[in-house]
A and B are shown apart, each in its own frame.
Chain A
Amino acid sequence: GAGVSQSPRYKVAKRGQDVALRCDPISGHVSLFWYQQALGQGPEFLTYFQNEAQLDKSGLPSDRFFAERPEGSVSTLKIQRTQQEDSAVYLCASSLERIKGGDSRYEQYFGPGTRLTVT
């Protein structure tokens, strides 16, 4: 079946431009996650949705970063006034399971990522 898809796969932006990155999760997946992976490093958590509710945005590095999932399916990560330090691969992941009473077993399925280069 179809996995998590992300678009565009590559984005070059001039410093100061706004960008929007799209994530299509696996159909029926309740949870959606965004991560940022800088060159040579492991991914770092940005934000998390359960359906349309953004339950955790503690990883967003600044108020220039904004994410939404208005209908509980597709999500968009928007970065305003891009800076060179925003250059990274942005990964989206989705998972089927809800969090149930502290039992946190789940699996996140990752998309291929969007490589953002800010010049």
Chain B
Amino acid sequence: AQSVTQLDSHVSVSEGTPVLLRCNYSSSYSPSLFWYVQHPNKGLQLLLKYTSAATLVKGINGFEAEFKKSETSFHLTKPSAHMSDAAEYFCVVSGLAGNKLTFGGGTRVLVKP
């Protein structure tokens, strides 16, 4: 079984400042990990994925995440927040057979001008 914990339900940042969204996972095998973003009234969009290749993963829109096995973490970062980054972000782990995704509770990001 696998689980995901997003450590912050809400994050507020000023435009142009760094963003850090924290995620810890639990898995009995080497997992595939993902970050998805959900804008209001829109579908979930994949930001980036880790699948046992490089531990530092670069995604779309300037986001990146680092897989740290020793800490069971997969934190999402962006050096400079933009107003369009305001959305809900989900950290996700896949099942052993890759057939089901387990989502964290989500982090809502507010970007202040």
| Cβ–Cβ contact B106 & A105, under 8 A | no
Q: CB distance B99 to A55 under 8 Å?
A: yes
State the majority secondary structure of interface residues on B: loop
With a cutoff of 8 Å between Cβ atoms, the chain A residues found around residue B49 in the complex are 107
Task: Please tell me if the beta carbons of A107 and B46 are within 8 angstroms of each other in the complex.
Answer: yes
Q: Which of A33, A40, A50 contacts B100 (CB 8 A)?
A: A33
By a CB distance below 8 angstroms, the chain B residues around A110 are 36, 43-45
Is there contact, CB below 8 Å, between A112 and B41? yes
Contact B94 A104 (CB under 8 A): yes
Q: How many residues of B contact A (CB 8 A)?
A: 24
In Å, the complex CA distance between A110 and B101 comes to 12
Report yes or no: A45 in contact with B101, Cβ–Cβ below 8 A: yes
**Which residues of chain A are near B98, meaning CB under 8 Å?**
99, 103-106
- The answer to whether A62 has its CB under 8 Å from any CB of chain B is no
Q: Which chain A residue lies CB-closest to B90?
A: A42
CB distance from A39 to the nearest CB of B (A): 11
A44 at the interface (CB under 8 A from B): yes
Q: Does A25 contact B (CB under 8 A)?
A: no
Say if the beta carbon of B72 comes within 8 Å of chain A. Answer: no
Whether the pair A99, B97 counts as a contact (CB closer than 8 A) is yes
Q: A41-B106, A42-B103 are in contact. Are A105 and B51 (CB under 8 A)?
A: yes
CB within 8 Å of B: which residues of A? 3-4, 31, 33, 35, 40-45, 48, 50, 55-56, 59, 91, 93, 99, 102-113
Interface residues of B (CB under 8 A from A): 32, 36, 41-46, 49, 51, 90, 94-106
